[in-house]
Chain A
Amino acid sequence: MAEPPLLAVRNLRVRFRMRDRMVYAVNGVSFDVERGHTLGLVGESGSGKSATLRAVAGLLPGTAELTGDVRLAGAPLEPGAILGSAGAHVATVFQDPATHLNPVQKIGDALRETLGVRRGLTGMAATAEAVGLLERVELAQARARMSCYPHQLSGGMRQRVMIALALACDPVMLLADEPTTALDVTTQRKVLVLLKRLQRETGMAMVFVSHDLAVIADVCDAAAVMYAGSIVERGPTQALLAAPAHPYSDGLIRSIPTLDPDAVVTAIGGAPPDMSAPPSGCPFAPRCPRCEPDCRVYSVRADVSPRFAACLHPLVKATA
């Protein structure tokens, strides 16, 4: 029996109780992440990718109701397991480092605090380790920066601090929620390189959420394309990008502008559906150029095979 995947998600559903309606953000998402691998969750805003990540991280707000099965290293995931000091170690890196750092706390104190809670380090040991972490994320003048406040750092530096804080938790898996979206392109590159290096060094798995296909292509071993709360296609990144099976993935790839002046950039017509009233059948049907009558009635049951497309009439056969 093969070793169970590090992260196994089955039939995850998340809905938000709003004041006058329910929003069904995630509708039956299933995937596996192996040790040391990176899975990318890619999709437009509102596709449910962030909600999925936060569900796994146990960070959904009080208005959320979720069902499904999430297992980390074979053991069912309870909020306490991630968010307590015992058990599996999962850390999260967020999109906007400006708002995710306490403005009145020096970053050295934040690091020492996390080290104290997660690794039981105090005093000089904690300080030394904190400086070490800052150096690992390539923050210049690490020791001096320990007594800085977040607003005294640039965006890229703040994100490095966030990554350092995540590392302080000794994670076996890193959850990254659009970690580079708020950064300029050059800094984006550097942070991605940093993340890949750290992953190589620590051997941690990563779930990387982004709307940017290029970033996903760069960083992830496998990618899962999400639309309207479901995974519509999954597979090894290169294979998926070279020969997408699902019309949505295809449309997504075609809509990326390239430097080729003769290339045609096409947009996907229409708009994503209203998630408070999920349609029956395939959620992409209204916008799909290949839509057939049966698409509006039936949808493909999600499974966890490594190469998968939720389409009755895929462009290519999606086999591993």
Chain B
Amino acid sequence: MSAVVEPRELEFALAAAPPRRRAHVEGIVGFALLGTILLAVVAVRVFQLGDPNAQNLQEALLSPSLAHPFGTDAVGRDVFLRTLYGGWIDILIGVSATAVSVVIGLVVGVAAAYKGGALDALLMRVTDAMIAFPFLILSFAIVTITGPGSILGVFLALVARGWPAYARISRGETLVVREHDYVLAARTLGLGPARILRRHIVPNVVRPCLVLSFADLIVNILIITTLSYLGLGIQPPTPEWGAIIADGQAYILTAWWISTLPGIVVVLFGVSISFVGESLGRIEGSLLGAAGNRG
């Protein structure tokens, strides 16, 4: 009378089954890729593995080969070497600008949320306007003042664009955490605001900021390269990813490798950052999860 019914796969409409756990392929690939690029970029400078500006007109516009993996450009410089040398400045400016943006945004956001009132309202209007303002126009405004070619200008442009997003996140998180019962409990115990901020609010606020910072780093590096490409950032002959690609544009039909190959390195760098960021998030999540289950 009671036949056994096969276990059934239920339809998607009732919430799709969570994906099976697969190995953290992206994590491994991400770290490996990022590590390789960073290693290459640093090693080439530390060990002085060639001169990126060494011209050799005999060897101009050579297509990629074993001797020149990315070929040579119009004045015979090895494009691969230039790409490696150029990465340093992009990564350095990108990372430092991102870090500074996070710090500024955090401070402003938490302060605004904690103080509240008219200052908070005004700050929010300003950050909303800044976030929605086209970042390249903003960069132009700053570069107009500092003059094209100024690294400081590039740095300032990145920070000016970057901090508002972190301010908004920090403020939001602070508002939420501030109302949590454990914070209210701490306050009733008489704990001062500094201690509450430090132990309860800041740790919760930092996390989403860090999550954003990875994607933000990629955006910053793209802006640096774009400014250089447009002639407004780092000036030749300093090797830099955007500048190298710009150099090759005139030869796009005949010597396509000058512009396209360095760009692939930029893309790979960005992708590795994404993978690493995602993998770090997962690691942190599972660490927290394991700790939570033991409770």
Query: Interface of A with B (CB < 8 Å)?
Result: 10-11, 17, 19, 58-70, 76, 79
Contact = CB atoms under 8 A, between A and B. Distances in A.
A8 to B, nearest CB: 9
Given A63-B17, A63-B18, A10 B10 contact: no
Contact of B10 (A11, A60, A67, A68): A60
Contact of A69 (B4, B10, B15, B21): B4
Interface of B: 1-12, 14-18, 21
Given A63-B17, A63-B18, A69 B7 contact: no
A84 to B, nearest CB: 12
26 contacts: A10-B1, A11-B2, A17-B17, A19-B18, A59-B14, A60-B14, A61-B10, A61-B14, A61-B15, A61-B17, A62-B10, A62-B16, A62-B17, A62-B18, A63-B18, A64-B10, A66-B5, A67-B4, A67-B5, A67-B6, A68-B4, A68-B5, A69-B5, A70-B5, A76-B5, A79-B8
Contacts of A11: 2, 4
A59 B15 CA distance: 10
A67 to B, nearest CB: 6
Chain B interface, >50% SS class: loop
B10 A79 contact: yes
A10 B1 CA distance: 9
Contacts of B5: 66-70, 76
A74 B16 CA distance: 31
A62 B12 contact: yes
Given A10-B1, A10-B2, A69-B2, A62 B7 contact: no
Contacts of B3: 69, 76
Nearest to B3: A69
Nearest to B2: A10
Given A62-B15, A68-B5, A19 B21 contact: yes
Contacts of B16: 62
Contacts of A67: 4-7
Contacts of B7: 65-67
B8 to A, nearest CB: 7
B281 to A, nearest CB: 16
Nearest to A68: B5
Contacts of B6: 67
Contacts of B2: 10-11, 68-69
Nearest to B4: A67
Contacts of B14: 59-62
Nearest to A65: B7
Contacts of A70: 5
Contacts of B1: 10, 69
Contacts of B21: 19
A63 B8 CA distance: 10
